[in-house]
Amino acid sequence: MSEAALSPDEAALLDRVQAPEGQGREILDAATREVIGRAPVQTVADLDDAIARAKAAQPGWEALGHQKRSDLLLQAADAIDARAEALARLLSREQGKPLNGPNARFELGACSAWLRATAATVLEPEVLVDDGETHAELHYKAIGVVGAIGPWNWPLMIAIWQIAPSLRMGNTVVVKPSEYTPLSVLAMISVMNEVLPPDVLIGVSGDREVGARLAAHPDVDKVMFTGSTATGRKIIESSAGNLARLTLELGGNDAGIVLPGTDPKAIAQDLFWGAFINTGQTCAALKRLYVHDSIYDDVVDALKEVAEQTPMGVGLSEDNVLGPLQNTQQFDIVNRLVDDAKARGARIVTGGAPAPELGELFYPITLIADATDGMAVVDEEQFGPVLPIVKYSDVEDAIASANRLDVGLGGSVWGPDRDEARKVAARIQSGTVWINSHGGVHPMIPFGGVKGSGYGLEFGVEGLKSVAVPQIING
């Protein structure tokens, strides 16, 4: 029983949010498969009560004004920082990501950084016409109650991406965390609620029925969802009855294009982490790599060298920077895609089979060379530690391959000539295209997908607008 190994601070946080002994649903450590704690199993009735409380609290929260709300967001960031180590350790157990590297401690730092950046973002009324006869201004006001439905891969950071702008604009928020990672999210919410007024931010831990009700509830005015495209479509259907506004950050299958003349060793580290941050369990991770034939073998070799030097194991070990798959369902998807690639003649450069010596859900970094469009491992989102590498000889073909799928979250172009790379990037059909990097986000740079990767923008001024309703004052 891993509870015995919890630090006092972890145990105190867990006791705030977990179900009483003998109740709830057991949550397992992703790496060791030991029981961490018991997630509350709340019902649709519990959700209805939470939404009613949030709706009642919203006018008073909005009335505080932007400055007071921003001050409270800054205090919430301080509260998270004060408990960051305990939250990071709980996150590492529940999600599987290691403490170090771009993982659990990094995620907690991002949570407080995003709160502070959101608090500091200014959204002033915009004068549209002022010609002596007509004066028209564009203002943004709170929507009401925001329903936030989060994923299991970056459960705290993405929750903050939903919570911070919503609260900043005067909305109240009801959060439904993933069934796989509820404890760490509920713990973070409890820390934030040390400084926030009652019922401004409420977490509800439940199953898919609760999530469906949140999307369809008549008193929910905005739904923010990060997750699969299939679930996003269901949320669109569920929200139709109440015309809730939507921000959907859905699945991706990000392509990277390495242009001729690129130095493989110079880009290997950034390529590796673009693909394998959070052990590949990231929506905007690099998931298929197109490399010019003149440097193909050298890029494969450079990535292999990085992979072999990057330690994987239990996340609470200070030495590891790669962890397990978070759940059995995702492990099975990764295993199926790799097996299919092998059966179709692709070449396994590293990995290629589960690593039971590390634990039940560990799958090593797997580089797949000689992959081709049409293979399942290329056409489907792996969402794990697998990267198919495709050879091309004509850049036009690489661009066509990058654009051939019905997703468009991110993409990247790698090359020594930044102007040439930008020309290629402009032709990639994705919400963001990075040059000589992949997957980095910034609180002031809008982020969102196209095609089957969803719609709506997050972050910065555009992110504030997305959780508000416009009002024209004319006269």
Residue 195: per-residue pLDDT = 98
pLDDT value at 449 more than 60: yes
pLDDT value at 465 more than 90: yes
Can you give the length of the chain in residues?
475
Secondary structure of the chain in the HEC alphabet? CHHHHCCHHHHHHHHHHCCCCCCCEEEECCCCCCEEEEECCCCHHHHHHHHHHHHHHHHHHHHCHHHHHHHHHHHHHHHHHHCHHHHHHHHHHHHCCCCCCCCHHHHHHHHHHHHHHHHHCCCCCEEEEECCCCEEEEEEEECCEEEEECCCCCHHHHHHHHHHHHHHCCCEEEEECCCCCHHHHHHHHHHHCCCCCCCCEEECCCCHHHHHHHHHCCCCCEEEEECCHHHHHHHHHHHCCCCCEEEEECCCCEEEEECCCCCHHHHHHHHHHHHHHHHHCCCCCEEEEEEECCCHHHHHHHHHHHHHCCCECCCCCCCCCECCCCCHHHHHHHHHHHHHHHHCCCEEEECCCCCCCCCCCCCCCEEEEEECCCCHHHHCCCCCCEEEEEEECCHHHHHHHHHCCCEECEEEEECCCHHHHHHHHCCCCCCEEEECCCCCCCCCCCECCEECCEECCECHHHHHHHCEEEEEEEC
Tens of pLDDT, residue by residue over 107-120, are 999 999 999 999 99
Residue 227: per-residue pLDDT = 93
Q: 54, 172 in Cβ contact below 8 A?
A: yes
Residue 15: per-residue pLDDT = 95
Residue 146: per-residue pLDDT = 98
pLDDT value at 4 more than 60: no
Can you read off the two tokens belonging to residue 457? Answer: 């923008």
Sequence ranges of the chain with CATH classification 3.40.309.10: 254-443
pLDDT value at 1 more than 50: no
Closest CA to 290 of 416, 433, 387: 387
Closest CA to 49 of 164, 171, 184, 210: 210
User: Topology of domain 2-250+453-474, per CATH?
Assistant: Aldehyde Dehydrogenase; Chain A, domain 1 (3.40.605)
Residue 5: per-residue pLDDT = 81
Tens of pLDDT, residue by residue over 435-446, are 999 999 999 999
Average pLDDT, the chain: 97
Tens of pLDDT, residue by residue over 24-75, are 999 999 999 999 999 999 999 999 999 999 999 999 999 999 999 999 999 9
**pLDDT band at residue 233 under the 50/70/90 scheme:** very high
Tokens 């569920």 belong to residue: 238
Sequence ranges of the chain with CATH classification 3.40.605.10: 2-250+453-474
Residue 3: per-residue pLDDT = 42
User: Topology of domain 254-443, per CATH?
Assistant: Aldehyde Dehydrogenase; Chain A, domain 2 (3.40.309)
Positions marked active-site: 249, 283
Closest CA to 361 of 26, 34, 8, 18: 34
Closest CA to 429 of 227, 255, 287: 255
Q: Percent of the chain, pLDDT > 70?
A: 99
Question: Quick one: average pLDDT of 214-218?
Answer: 96
Question: Quick one: average pLDDT of 315-328?
Answer: 97
pLDDT value at 145 more than 80: yes
Q: 167, 200 in Cβ contact below 8 A?
A: yes
Question: pTM to 2 decimals?
Answer: 0.96
Q: How many CB atoms lie within 10 A of CB 436?
A: 18
